[in-house]
Structure 1
Amino acid sequence: MTLRAGVLGLGVMGRHHSRVLNELEGVEFKGVYDPSDAVPSHIEGKPVVRDLDTFLDMGFDYCVVAAPTIYHLEIGTMLASRGIHALIEKPVASTSEAANELRDLFTAAGLVGGVGHIERYNPALQSARQRIQDGLLGDIYQVTTRRQGPFPGRIADVGVIKDLATHDIDLTAWVTQQEYVSINARTTFRSGREHEDMVLAIGTLSKGTIVSHTVNWLTPFKERTTIITGEHGSLVADTLTADLTYFENGVRHHQWDDISQFRGVSEGDVTRFALDKKEPLRAEHEAFRDAVLSGDTSAIVTLAQGAAVVATAEKFVADGLEHRLTTP
């Protein structure tokens, strides 16, 4: 069966989604909706339609929502009312209330709804999750993420927490299979925008793992690093290069009783894993296509999971505002 698919929104991500859909096996890419006169009339040889109703009348099995976050609820509601499955870019909605409404709409309609948390499909993180499940690290003590780089001019409707830190919130919960139970955050507003542009966040997960996230738009270099530390060693994932390295705890025997009582660690072997580096966006689309065909949503980020990420992000935003320093 060939699925008919389209994209709503022709920004940076909309163009990437269009490219992948146009090449995706088992999918007929029919076109894009974008009301702006500033975008081209065609993409990947398919029409860019300016009117939403006209676009939806073209007939779709599923669509990708790559419009600004503030429009996700409105567009998602229209798709659900027409019986169209949807892959919605992250964050799934501007507020947890809107995210929950989308979740309930698609559930009631019996439709597959997914969220574009693309980091789940990064080969380094997928391999890390599998190795953790296989017991490589033993108990997980800590997850540290660093996601920083220059300001992207395309983001105007949310701050760095909902735009970028949502990646780290989702991947941390997914890799560890735990939920956030406590959070604290410090944020800054250095660029003069309405929303925060830098966050230092810490938290605790449901099995006692501690986490920290450093996320900002104010660093003149790009970094995407996840460090997962457990009782047997650490996994370091660079999601820019999709590399995964394992630093194993070494074993050293001490004659001195006082030292031998200290349960510390020492440096051991270092292993850089060879991974099959499939493009994460393509893997995400393949998973969503298969979910639409089979109804099995185990390989996608569900709307319920996306809503939980937004709720956690809102707690980080609120805590950051509560502790915001003001100049007299």
Structure 2
Amino acid sequence: MRVGVIGTGAMGQNHVRIYSEMDNVELVGIADVDKERVALLASEYNTQGFTDYRELLRMELDAVSIVVPTKLHKQVALDVIESGANLLVEKPIADSTENADAIIEAAKKNDKVLMIGHIERFNPAVARLKEIIDSGILGKIVSISTRRVGPYNPRIRDVGVILDIGVHDIDIISYLYGAQANEVYAVAGANIHPFEDHATIHMRLNHELSGLVEVNWLTPHKIRKLTVVGLEGVAYLDYMDQTVEIHDKDWIRKAKVEKGEPLRRELEHFIHCIENGEEAQPSGSEGKHALEVSLAAIQSYNDEKLIKIE
């Protein structure tokens, strides 16, 4: 499988590293506008480096990871599809639902695998929690709440905290419920960033289920946790420790979780889907929904009203 990576910032470098370690993958080349960085990485991983990604796309690639700023996703994705390659687009899928639709439609028209890089889907603890929920151990699920907070990363300037990290939990809540949000209400504000740097997002899913997302760039230490409340028990998940603990009226139990690197699992799934002609998860439509909810949350706090999603 001939693979390339476009965008070699903090996240892109991890794509490069993992592809270089995969047995069934040849890392053909990488591209980034930072000439020094791309040269250094190309040398380290024994691959070709380009400052113009279109030169990389001439290398007859089978698959490409797109890890560039969100506003560039549409153009780069369309160019990748036109080159004949399958694509993984880092979250969020695009900067607007119209641009998301353009990517989805182009991939479908050209019969290309399109995967959206919502990495927490591949966190082993999330996978285990999904199994627990689907087994019925917790009974009917009535609410899912998440807390993703920590210090601000200065490299993030093009989007606020909702599109940068809130979108993770928006996607995970929909995934765990197996349902989409139909109403969103958010309270947020900007203190240290041009866009919002803290937000509390309340989602209604399937008209009766509750999802609550708390995010900020103001907390001095990082927290990444999720709570699922069911009629028969409560589950507590820690994204960072990759643990799941179940509390019911009789017991406190720790679920067995086979720990692993989420991004590696994500890229292995991407390559597997290409090799076997399967639809990748999260799909383009799932990525679009997470974007829709995120944009609705931004509109909600700006307009100070509840936003309905069709």
TM range (shorter): over 0.9
Counterpart of 1:300? 281
Q: CA deviation at 1:42?
A: 3.8
**Secondary structure in structure 2 of the residue aligned to 1:219:** strand
Counterpart of 1:280? 262
- Provide the C-alpha distance between the structure 2 equivalents of 1:101 and 1:5, rounded to a whole number of angstroms: 23
Unaligned runs of 5+ in 1: 251-267
Residue type at the aligned position of 2:211: V
Higher helix share: 2
Number of matched pairs: 302
Instruction: Report if the CA contact (8 A) 1:138-1:231 is conserved.
Output: yes
Counterpart of 2:53? 52
Counterpart of 2:211? 211
**Secondary structure in structure 2 of the residue aligned to 1:110:** coil
- Provide the C-alpha distance between the structure 2 equivalents of 1:40 and 1:98, rounded to a whole number of angstroms: 28
- Provide the C-alpha distance between the structure 2 equivalents of 1:45 and 1:176, rounded to a whole number of angstroms: 43
**Secondary structure in structure 1 of the residue aligned to 2:227:** strand
Q: Deviations over 1:33-75 (max 9, x none)?
A: 1122341404222222112222111221010000111110010
Counterpart of 1:198? 198
Q: How does 1:221-232 map to 2 (within 5 A)?
A: 221-232=221-232
Instruction: Report if the CA contact (8 A) 2:74-2:103 is conserved.
Output: yes
Counterpart of 2:233? 233
- Provide the C-alpha distance between the structure 2 equivalents of 1:246 and 1:165, rounded to a whole number of angstroms: 24
In the alignment, is residue 290 of structure 1 matched against residue 288 of structure 2? no
Q: How does 1:1-328 map to 2 (within 5 A)?
A: 3-43=1-41, 44-191=45-192, 193-206=193-206, 208-248=208-248, 250=249, 268-297=250-279, 300-323=281-304
- Provide the C-alpha distance between the structure 1 equivalents of 2:54 and 2:13, rounded to a whole number of angstroms: 21
**Secondary structure in structure 2 of the residue aligned to 1:222:** strand
Residue type at the aligned position of 1:310: L
Residue type at the aligned position of 2:61: F
Instruction: Report if the CA contact (8 A) 1:291-1:300 is conserved.
Output: no
- Provide the C-alpha distance between the structure 2 equivalents of 1:172 and 1:40, rounded to a whole number of angstroms: 36
Moved over 4 A (4+): none
Instruction: Report if the CA contact (8 A) 2:8-2:38 is conserved.
Output: no
Instruction: Report if the CA contact (8 A) 2:60-2:84 is conserved.
Output: no
Instruction: Report if the CA contact (8 A) 2:97-2:288 is conserved.
Output: yes
Q: CA deviation at 1:323?
A: 2.3
Unaligned runs of 5+ in 2: 306-310
- Provide the C-alpha distance between the structure 2 equivalents of 1:165 and 1:155, rounded to a whole number of angstroms: 14
Q: CA deviation at 1:183?
A: 1.1
Q: CA deviation at 1:26?
A: 1.1
- Provide the C-alpha distance between the structure 2 equivalents of 1:236 and 1:300, rounded to a whole number of angstroms: 24
- Provide the C-alpha distance between the structure 2 equivalents of 1:188 and 1:304, rounded to a whole number of angstroms: 29
Instruction: Report if the CA contact (8 A) 1:94-1:158 is conserved.
Output: no
- Provide the C-alpha distance between the structure 2 equivalents of 1:303 and 1:134, rounded to a whole number of angstroms: 27
**Secondary structure in structure 2 of the residue aligned to 1:227:** strand
- Provide the C-alpha distance between the structure 1 equivalents of 2:261 and 2:206, rounded to a whole number of angstroms: 31
- Provide the C-alpha distance between the structure 2 equivalents of 1:70 and 1:38, rounded to a whole number of angstroms: 23
Instruction: Report if the CA contact (8 A) 2:38-2:50 is conserved.
Output: no
- Provide the C-alpha distance between the structure 1 equivalents of 2:9 and 2:263, rounded to a whole number of angstroms: 15
Residue type at the aligned position of 2:225: T
Q: CA deviation at 1:186?
A: 0.5
Residue type at the aligned position of 1:304: S
Instruction: Report if the CA contact (8 A) 1:21-1:29 is conserved.
Output: yes
Q: CA deviation at 1:316?
A: 0.3
**Secondary structure in structure 1 of the residue aligned to 2:285:** helix
What's the Cα RMSD here? 1.3
Instruction: Report if the CA contact (8 A) 2:143-2:229 is conserved.
Output: yes
**Secondary structure in structure 1 of the residue aligned to 2:147:** strand
Q: CA deviation at 1:81?
A: 1.0
Q: Deviations over 1:258-286 (max 9, x none)?
A: xxxxxxxxxx3100122110211111011
**TM-score, L = length of structure 2:** 0.95
Q: CA deviation at 1:238?
A: 0.2
- Provide the C-alpha distance between the structure 1 equivalents of 2:161 and 2:129, rounded to a whole number of angstroms: 25
- Quote the sequence identity (%): 28
Residue type at the aligned position of 1:20: I
Q: CA deviation at 1:101?
A: 1.1
